[in-house]
Amino acid sequence: MHLLWSELITEKLSYKPVVAWLANEPQRLYCQFTSHQVDSRNDLICLRSFHWRPPDDPIPQGSQLMTHEEALEKWNRLKSMGWKKCAGPLHRGIL
């Protein structure tokens, strides 16, 4: 079974390079959490946000780098506000 990033970091506060998405479908907003390796000791998480109105491609809204702990706090805060895990927006292979 393939675990999502949030499950990996929540359980062990460790990170494996997988992508995880959260969606706020009523507002058509999506957040992507991915690894961003600065050097061999400092892995960061890149948070990218998008607005998506099908059938158009997602429109980037911004990105930021954060530590694992900051990313976990952000993930949990979004989940507590009603955001749901999802597979991410599907489109023409841009992401």
Dump the DSSP string for 44-84: EEEEEEEE--TTSPPEEEEEEEE-HHHHHHHHHHHHHTT-E
Q: In percent, how much of the chain has pLDDT > 70? A: 68
Q: In percent, how much of the chain has pLDDT > 90? A: 51
Strand order in the sheet with 59-66: 59-66, 43-51, 29-37, 20-24, 84-86
pLDDT digits (tens, 9 = 90+) for 79-89: 999 999 998 87
Model confidence at 93, in pLDDT bands (50, 70, 90)?
very low
pLDDT digits (tens, 9 = 90+) for 56-79: 889 999 999 999 899 999 999 999
pLDDT digits (tens, 9 = 90+) for 7-47: 544 444 444 556 899 999 999 999 999 987 766 566 789 99
Is the Cβ–Cβ distance between 33 and 21 less than 8 Å? Answer: yes
**Domain ranges across the chain:** 5-86
